[in-house]
Structure 1
Amino acid sequence: MALPYVTGYLDRISLTRGEPLKVMVSCTAAPEFRASLVRVICGDLNPEGPGFREVEIASAADGTYPAREQICNAGSCVVIPPNSCFDSLESYSVQMHIWPTTPMKGEQVLLSLWSEELGQGFRLTIDASGALAASVSDGSSTASAMTSVPLTERQWHLVGASYDAKARTLSVLHEPFSRSGAGEKPLVATNAVPFSFQLPTGACLILGASMKGGTPARPLTAQHYNGKIEKPRLLSVAASRLDMEKLRGETIPADVTPICVGFWDFSAGMEGEHIADRSRNGLAGLVVNLPARGMTGSNWTGEEVSWRATPAQYGAIHFHDDDLYDACWDADISFDLPDDLKSGFYAIRLTAGADEERIPFFVRPKAGDARAPVCLLASTATYMAYANLNPVPFPIAELLSSRLIVLHKANLLIDEHPEWGPSLYDVHSDGSGVCYSSRLRPILNFRPGYISSFGAKGSNLREYNADTHIVDWLEQQGIEYDVVTDDDVHVEGFRLLSQYKTVMTGAHPEYFSAEMWDATKNYIDAGGRLMVLGGNGFYWRIAYHPTLPGVMEVRRCGPAIRTWETQPGEEFHSFDGKRGGLWRAHGRPPQSIGGVGFISEGFDLSAFYRRTAASRDPRAAFIFEDIDAEVIGDFGLQGGGAAGIEIDHADANLGTPTHALILASSEGHTEAFRLVNEEMSITVPTVTAPVEARIQADMVFFETAGGGAVFNVGSIAWPGSLSHNGYDNNVSKLTRNVLDRFIDPTPFLYRRGST
C-alpha cells in the first residue's frame, strides 16, 4: 500500500526579499494542506543537539489549500512538433542507428507518428520479445511487421521501417553492426496492410517514446526507450536498402535530397535542448527531460575523447525511462516574499493531517542592500548531487556505515517514487550512470528535519542539515551574516564574493563549477578571507546548463571514489564541452585553493584533532586564544567527534602552500576509514603504517599575498560539534576566534613567522 505524503518543489531556490515564488505541491495525506513561511535556524532533529529550530513568518502564502496528487512523467524523448510535411506523407520510411540497453524490458518506442486520440498512426518499436517491430493503425485495425529476433544489448544496429502505400505493405529492417565496420546479415520482414492507411493530421514525431497526450511543449509520454539513438531519418518514399545507406553519412546526397523529409543531427547544438534538422524542411526538435548528450556514436574511433574535437562521432543521444528535468506540476501557491526578509535559510512548510514537509530556499541580499561582514555559502551544487540519494537500493551503505541501516519515511517514499528522479550517485534503470540532476522536482533528502539513514553513528544529517548547524551557531553567536548559493556564485562570480570580508562554506562544498572555482580563488588572491568549515571540498568539477535553470552535470571519470564510471569517450560535459572528473585531474587540486584535499571517508565513528607544534607559531596565536587543550573536538553530533565522515589532508605536492600551518591533525580513526582511490597507484592494505598515517584530517591556516587568509578544518563532522555543551567548547571558541580576526580588516602579512 502506497505511503501517504505531502511534498513539492519551488520554481526557484535563491531569490531576494519581495520577489515572487511558486510552490508546486502534491498531496495524498489529506484532502487539504496548510502552508506557511518559516526561517530555518537548525534542521537537526537530534535530541542531543540544539534542537530543531525554525521561526514562522507571516506571508501571503499562509493559508489552507485543496490537496491533489500531481504526477511526474519521467522518461526522456525528442519531440518534433506537428508539420504539414508529416501530414502529406503517403509512402514513407524511417531509419536510425540504435544501441539498446534493456531490449527485453517490454515494448519500447523508437519513433512514433501517432494520435492517441484517434488510435491512429505509425510506430517503430522494440517489442515485448526484444525484437524490432513496426505497426500502423487506422484507428480500428492494426497491421504489424516484426523480425522476431531479439536485438543484442549494447551493440549498434541499423534499424528501419517502410510503408508502401501503393503496395500496401509494411517492412522492417534490422542489421547489427560493429564499430569496426564488420556487418552482419540483415533481417527483413514484410507484411501486408489490409486496409487503407493515412498518417494522422497534426501528430508530433516522437523519438524514444510514444505521445499519450499533452502538448509539444509539455508532452505526456509513455513506452520509453532505454539506449542510444543516432542519425534518425525520415523519407517520403518506401526506401530501398541502398537509399538508407546513402543517408547514414553526415550530409544529404544530392540525389536523396528530394525524398529526405527529416535529417536530424544529434551532434549539433550539444550544449542546448534543441535538435537540428539538416533537411530543407527545417523540422527542428526539442529534447524532453534531458536525455544524455555528448555520447559516443556508432562511428566513434576512440582516437578523440572530446565531442568538441570530433562532433560527428558524438551523434548519439542516450535516452532513459527515468530521466527527469522538470516535473511540470502546476503551481498551488504563487506569492511575493515579504519585503523585509533578512538574508538566510528559509522554507515553505506544508502540513497535511499528520504529515509535514518543508521545502527549502535561500534569501540573498537585494541589490543595494548593506552587506553583512560574513557570507555563508549554501552548497546547492552538493545538495543537487545528492538529491534523492537513497540507501534502499544502495548495496554498500551498510558496509560503509559499519552498521545496519535504519530506513525512515523519506527513504521509503524515494524508493516508492523513482519517477521523482535519482541522484548523481545512482544509476539509471538500464545501469548507466546518472549525469544530470535538477531541482525542479521533489527532493526528499533536501529538507529541514530529514533524517539520513546513511551516516556516522549518532548522526542523522548530512549536506543541508549539517549546514544548518553553522546557521544555528551564527545565530547563537549574534554574528551578522548573509547567505548566497553556489548557483549565485556560478552566475555572479568574484563580484558577488568581493562584497564580503569573510566567506564561510558549509560542511560539504564538494561540487564546484569552473566559474565557482575561479571566483573563489580570485577572492582569496584579492585579499578575501575564506573559512572552510567542512570536508571533501572543491572535489568534483561540474557544469551548469547554459540556458535551462536548475540543472547541473557531472561526469565521473578518472580515479576517484565513485558509484559509477563514465564510459570511455564520454568524459566531457555536454553542457560546456569541458572534461569532467576531479578538479585534481585538471591541475587544480583542492589543496591549491583550500589548503587540504580529500584523503578518506568513514561512516561509523568520528575522531578528534590533536594540536601540532605549528599551532604555537605566533601567526596562529589568535586562533588558539584562550584555548589550552591539546585535544580539539573529542565530542559532537556527527559520530562523536569533530573529525570524521569525509576528511581532508595537507599535501605540499598537491598545492598546500609551503607557508601553511598545519595546526592540528586528527587521530584515532577506525578501520572503516579507507584511503581514497586517487591516492593509490596500486592496491595496498589500508592498515599498513605508511597508509594509516596519511588518514587524518588536517586543520590548516595560511595567509595570501593579497592580505587575506584561508582557514580549513578538513572535516564534514566539524559543524556538528559547534553546539556541544551549550556552545561552550573548544570547537566553537576556535571557530569564533578565527572569524573575529577574519572580519577584522587589518591585512594579514604574507611571510613565514609574521604576526
Structure 2
Amino acid sequence: MHVLRAGQWARPGACAARTDGARCPGGHGATESGPGGSRGPHDSEPDPNVEICSLLSWYCVEVQSLVTVHFHNQVPNNPNTLWKVGHPPWFLGVLMRLFGYLDRLSARPGEELSVRVSGDGGEVAIDLVRLVHGDANPQGPGFIVEDVPSVARQTAVVAEQETAAGSCLLADRVFSADTTRLSAELLVWPTTPGAGREQGLFSLVDRHGEQVLALALSPEGCPCLCLADGTVLAAADRPLAQSRWYRLMVEFVPHALRLSVLPLQPYAGEDAEAHAYSGAAVDLSSVSGVVIAALRCPSDGTRYCPGSVFNGKVERPVLRSGPDVLAEWAFERDFSSQTTADVSGRGAHALLVNMPTRAMTGHNWTGEVHDATDAPEQYGAIHFHDDDLLDAGWPEAARITLPEDLPTGIYAVRLRGITGDGEETDHIPVVVPPPAGRPRARIAYLVPTFTYLAYANERLLHRLDYESAGILDHPVNPSVHDTTLADHPEFGSSLYDHHSDGSGICYSSALRPILNLRPDYRMWLQNAPRGLSADLYVEHWFTQSTFEHDVISDHDLHADPEHALDGYQVLITGGHPEYYSGRMLDALQRHLDSGGCLMYLGGNGFYWVTSQDPRRPHVLEVRRSAGIRTWEIQPGEQRHSTTGEQGGLWRWRGRSPNKLVGIGMCSQGWDEKAPAFARTPLSYEPEWAWVFDGIDDELIGDFGLIMNGASGDELDRCDLGLGSPPNTAVLATSQRHSDYYQLAVEDVLMLSPGLGGSECKDVRSDMVVVEQPAGGAVFSVGSVCFTGSLPWNGCQNNVSRLVRNVLDNFQSRDSKQAPTHRADGPADAEHHTAERHPG
C-alpha cells in the first residue's frame, strides 16, 4: 500500500486508484462549465506511484487502497507562533497547496475585493466565477460555475505565506525616564503553566519589539527572569498552579534583580510567598517598550508577530521607575476596544494584538455580578491565547473590481496554478447583493454568512471520536479541506472549538483562510455538503425555475437592518441560519409585520445570540451556555465584550425561533438514511390545497443528496409552549428518526430513557405555515438537510414542487407594505416546559 506523502496534493475528482487513466466506474469527478468551456477531472495522467483514491472521490466504487491519514489532537509546542504555510511538520495526508482569502464575505457591484493568496512560488491565475452548484455527487447536476467575462483574468507570482497567531499587549515608547530602577507588577491566572515551552508574562523590549529582559514562565511553569538568549537570571523553585490567581512582582535595580510570587488563592502546602534573586547586571538602555503575555512582538511591516505567547488571564499590569508610575493599564475599560488605556496620565496606551478575549472576570470577582458594566472593577482581566488570530495579514496578490452591472448572486474568486504536486484550483466565495437601495427582484435569498463564519475552520473532527461515542452509524470521511486544515493550526478555529488551553473560542474572524467555506466542501460528519456548499442547492434550483431573485448576506442584513429588505415580498433562508443578531431578527419581524413572507428552508435557525463587532465587522462573537454546545463559557462571562449583550440562546432571551417561524430546534443526529415527511390530516383540507398542488399522499423527500432524505442533521418542531403561534398549521411531519437523534438538551428537564428518535415523539421535523396578521405568511420545514432534496432527478421531485407551490403563492400575495418600525422590544423572557405536539 502506498501512503500519500506529506505535502502531496490529490486533486478533487482525480482518482489515483486508477493507474490506467480511465474514468472511475462511479463516474466521479468535477467539471467546471461556463462560457469558457468545460474541463474534466482526468485531463492529466494520474501518478502511478500513488495508489490512493482522493478523500473527496467518495463515490469511487473501485478503491484498490485507501489513504492513511494521521490526526493529532495537539500540535508540537512551538516557542514562536509564527507558522510557515506549506511545510507540514507533523501531518501525513492529502493537502492543498494553493488557497487564499478575501477582505470581506460580501461586496456590492462597483466595490473592490482584495485577494490574499498563498502558493509555492509559482504563477497563479486569478479570475471571478459565479457559483451555481458545488456538489459533485453524480446523482445531482455536478459542480457548476460560470465564468464572468467582464472581469479580466489576472496573474500573480504567489509565494508561501506566513501567519502570525497568538495574542499579546504591546506598548511602545513607554520609557522616557531613567531605566536603571524599574519595577513591574501584574496578576496572572495561567491555564497551561507546564506547557513545555516558555511563556512571556511581562517583557521589556527594544524598539523593534524584541526581548531584552522578561518575566516569563519556564517550560515547567515556574516564574523566572530571562534574557533574550535564554539565560535564566532568577527563577522560583515551584511552578504556578493551573487556573489560580497570583501576584507577580519584579524589581530591576542596579546590579540586582528580585522576583516575588504571591498566591492569591493558596492551597494547602503552597508557600505563602516565594522570592528569587540575581546579582547580575543587566543593561536596559535599549529598552523602549513593553510586551505583556508574550516574550516579544516584532513587526514585519504589515503585522505584529507575537512569540512565546502566554495562555491565561492577565490583570492590572503596572510599570514603575522608582516611586513614579510609568504606565498602568486598566483592562476594565472599553471592553470592545483593542487598545487599553494607560491610567497613569503618561499616555502610554497599549495595543492588543490578535484580539484576546475581553470582559473576563478578574481576581476579585465575587460571583454576585454577571454584567461587567455593573462592576467593571471585577472584570479587569484579559484572557490571552497562543492561537488567537484576528487577521492573517497576508500581502495582497490582486484587486478585483466588481462590474457595476454584475448580477446579484454567489460568486468566487478562482485561483488556478501549478504547485509542486500538480494543477490546483481554489474558489474563495463572496456574496454579491444588488446595489444598495436598488432591489432587482421581489424575492431575496438570505445567505447565512454569519453561520459560515461561526463554523469557519471547525476542527471537531480532530478532537472528538464520533464513531466510538456512538454518535454516527458510519465512518467519518475527511475531505482535502479538512486534512489541509489539520495541517494549519495557525489558521485559527471555529466558534465550536477550544483554544489550545481548553477555553472556548468566542471570536471568529473572516480575515484568514477559511478552508471549509468552499463550494465543493463535503463535511466529514455526513460526507455531504454543509454550509455554503449545501446552500448552493437553492441557488441552482433558482436557475432551473422562472423565479427572479436577489441574494443578500447576513452581513448585508446586519449592516442595514432598516432598509436591506425593502422592496422584497418573499425572503428565503438557506438551510442553516443558526447565528442571528438582534438587529437581524428585528428586520425579519418588521418584514412580516409589513405583510412580507418568509420561507425558512432549514433547521436549527435563529438559535444563538450573535454579535458582530461594531469596530471590526469581519469579527463575530458568541458565548455559549444552555443549549447543545461543544464548550461552555465560564461563570460571570456570558456577556459579549463587543456589544455588552447577554449571550447564549435566543430562546433564553425570550426570542425563541418558534415565535418567529413557528418551529424551533429540538434534536440533532447523523445517520445514513434521513427520513421523509408524511402529510398530516390537516394538509388535505381545501385551505391548504395550494401547498400540495401536484403532490398526492406520497412521502415527501424520501431522497436527497444529504443523508438520502429531507429530514435530517438538525431538526425543528412546532411547540405552543415554546412560542409557536396558535394558528401554526402543521402540514407534514417527519417519519420516525433513529436513536442517533436525541432530544435537544434544553428540552430535557430530567434524564430518562426514551429520548431518542425511535421513541420520543418530540424528535421530529415539522413542516408548517403560519399566516401573519398583515397578510404575509411563514413557511418552515425544520430540517438542515431539506435543501439537499431539491436537485434530485433534475429538480423534478415533490420537494421541488412543494417549494415552487409555496413560492408561487407567497410571491403573488403582493401584501408587502411600506416598512414600519417596531417600537416595542423583544418578547418577555418567560419560557415554559415544552408541550407535547398534538397527534
TM over 0.5: yes
- Check 1:181–1:302 CA distance in 2 against 1; reply closer, same or farther (3 A cut): farther
Segment of structure 1 superposing worse, 438-447 or 120-129:
120-129
What SS is found at the alignment partner of 1:515?
helix
Q: Is the 8 A contact 1:647 1:696 kept in 2?
A: yes
SS at match of 1:599: strand
Structure 1 residue 614: deviation in Å? 1.6
Taking only aligned residues, the RMSD between alpha carbons, in angstroms, comes to 2.2
Q: Secondary structure at the match of 2:674?
A: strand
Match of 1:46, SS?
Answer: coil
Counterpart residue type for residue 331 of structure 2: F
Determine the structure 2 residue equivalent to 1:19: 111
With over 3 angstroms needed to count, the CA separation of the structure-2 counterparts of 1:98 and 1:182, relative to structure 1, is farther
Letter in 2 for 1:123: A
2:284 partner letter: Q
Partner Cα separation in structure 2 for residue 261 and residue 232 of structure 1: 11
Shift of 1:705: 1.0
Aligned to 1:501: 569
Note the C-alpha offset of 1:189.
0.7
Distance in 2 (alpha carbons) for counterparts of 1:380 and 1:367? 18
**Would you say the 8 A contact 1:163–1:171 is kept in 2?**
yes
CA drift of 1:388 comes to 0.7
Alignment match of 1:683 (pick from 746, 751, 756) = 751
Match of 1:444 in 2: 515
1:124-172 deviation per Cα after TM superposition (whole angstroms, max 9, x unaligned): 10012210011357x8x9561111210101110011211012xx10111
- Aligned partner letter, 2:257: L
Normalised by the length of structure 2, the TM-score is 0.83
1:95 aligns with 2:163: no
Q: Tell me the equivalent position of 1:584.
A: 651
Say whether 1:325 aligns with 2:410.
no
Whole-Å Cα distance in 2 between the matches of residues 746 and 630 of structure 1? 31
- Over residues 313-361 of structure 1, what are the superposed CA-to-partner deviations in whole Å (9 max), with x where a residue is unaligned? 0100000000001001110001311222100000011112222111000
Return 397-406 or 407-416, whichever deviates more.
397-406
Q: Secondary structure at the match of 1:99?
A: strand
Shift of 1:179: 9.5
- Whether contact under 8 Å (1:272, 1:546) holds in the other structure is no
1:496-535 equivalence runs, <5 A: 496-535=564-603
1:572 corresponds to which letter in structure 2? R
Q: For residue 218 of structure 1, report the CA deviation from its aligned partner.
A: 2.4
Distance (whole Å) between structure 2 residues aligned to residue 4 and residue 476 of structure 1:
33
Partner of 1:421: 492
- Mapped pair 1:214 → 2:299: yes
Could you tell me whether the CA contact under 8 Å between 1:61 and 1:333 is conserved in 2? no
Q: Percent identity?
A: 39
**Which position in structure 2 is the counterpart of 1:132?**
223
Deviation, structure 1 residue 565: 1.0
Relative to total residues, which structure has the larger strand share, 1 or 2? Answer: 1
Instruction: Work out whether 1:483 is the aligned partner of 2:551.
Output: yes
Q: Tell me what 1:68 maps to.
A: 159
Q: Could you tell me which residue of structure 2 aligns to residue 394 of structure 1?
A: 463
Q: Aligned to 1:310, which of 375, 378, 382?
A: 375
SS at match of 2:615: coil
Does the 8 Å contact 1:36/1:348 carry over to 2? yes
Partner letter of residue 49 of structure 1? G
Give the CA deviation at 1:626. Answer: 1.9
Q: Secondary structure at the match of 1:221?
A: coil
Q: Does 1:159 align with 2:264?
A: no
Amino acid across the alignment from 2:186 = M
Indicate yes or no: 2:430 matched with 1:361.
yes
Match of 2:780 among 712, 717, 735: 712
Identify if the C-alpha distance between structure 1 residues 59 and 577 changes in structure 2 by more than 3 Å, giving closer, same or farther: same
Which of these residues, 171, 182, 200, is aligned with residue 80 of structure 1? 171
Q: How far 1:215 sits from its partner (Å)?
A: 6.4
8 Å Cα contact 1:294/1:574 also seen in 2 = yes
- Residue 59 of structure 1: how far off its partner (Å): 4.8
- Alignment of 1:461 with 2:550, yes or no, is no
Shift of 1:294: 1.2
Conserved? CA contact 1:675–1:686, under 8 Å: no
1:571 is matched with which residue? 638
Displacement of 1:366: 0.7
CA 1:211–1:687 in structure 2 vs 1: closer, same or farther (change >3 Å)?
closer
Structure 2 residue identity aligned to 1:597 = G
Structure 2: which amino acid aligns with 1:497? Answer: L
Report which of the two has the higher share of helix. Answer: 1
The partner residue of 2:452 within 383, 392, 399 is 383
Is the aligned partner of 1:200 residue 2:286?
Answer: yes
Moved more, 400-409 or 471-480: 400-409
Q: Which runs of 5+ in 1 are unaligned?
A: 238-257, 750-755
Could you say which residue in structure 1 is the equivalent of 2:71? Answer: none
Q: Is the 8 A contact 1:113 1:199 kept in 2?
A: no
Which residue identity is paired with 2:317?
Answer: P
- The amino acid that maps onto 2:265 is S
**Residues in 2 aligned to 1:274 and 1:181: alpha-carbon distance in whole angstroms:** 39
Answering whether residue 769 of structure 2 is matched by residue 701 of structure 1, we say yes
2:738 counterpart of 1:670: yes
The equivalent position to 1:147 in structure 2, one of 236, 243, 262, is: 236
Q: Distance in 2 between matches of 1:199 and 1:410?
A: 49
Name the counterpart of 1:474.
542
- State which of 179, 187, 190 in structure 1 corresponds to 2:277: 190
Contact 2:335–2:642 (CA under 8 A) maintained in structure 1: yes
Q: Which of the numbers 307, 321, 343 marks the counterpart of 2:408?
A: 343
2:461 and 2:524 in contact (8 A); partners too: no
How many angstroms apart in 2 are the aligned matches of 1:180 and 1:574? Answer: 32
SS at match of 1:519: helix
Deviation, 1:391, is 4.5
Provide the C-alpha distance between the structure 2 equivalents of 1:82 and 1:521, rounded to a whole number of angstroms.
51
- Residue of structure 2 aligned with 1:57, choices 139, 148, 152: 148
Q: Distance in 1 between matches of 2:179 and 2:222?
A: 26
Alpha carbons of 1:679 and 1:4: their partners in 2 closer, same or farther (altered >3 Å)?
Answer: closer
Q: 1:118 to 1:711 in 2, by over 3 A?
A: closer
- Read off the aligned partner of 2:659 and give its amino acid letter: S
Query: For the residues of structure 2 that align with 1:694 and 1:117, how far apart are their CA atoms?
Result: 61
Q: Secondary structure at the match of 1:402?
A: coil
Q: CA deviation at 1:444?
A: 0.4
CA contact (8 A) 2:742 2:756 kept: no
CA 1:300–1:182: 2 relative to 1, 3 Å: farther
Separation in structure 2 between the aligned mates of residue 161 and residue 619 of structure 1, nearest angstrom = 79
Identify which range, 723-732 or 389-398, moves more after superposition.
389-398
Q: CA deviation at 1:703?
A: 1.0
Structure 2: which 5+ residue stretches go unaligned?
1-5, 7-87, 89-94, 818-839
Q: Is the 8 A contact 2:132 2:536 kept in 1?
A: yes
Q: Return the offset for 1:193.
A: 1.5
Instruction: Give the match's secondary structure for 2:238.
Output: strand
Amino acid at match of 2:801: K
- Is the 2:669–2:740 contact (alpha carbons within 8 Å) kept by the matching residues of 1? yes
2:107 alignment partner, SS class? strand
Given that 1:391 and 1:397 are in contact with CA atoms closer than 8 Å, whether structure 2 keeps it comes out as no
Matched positions, count:
717
Amino acid at match of 1:423: S
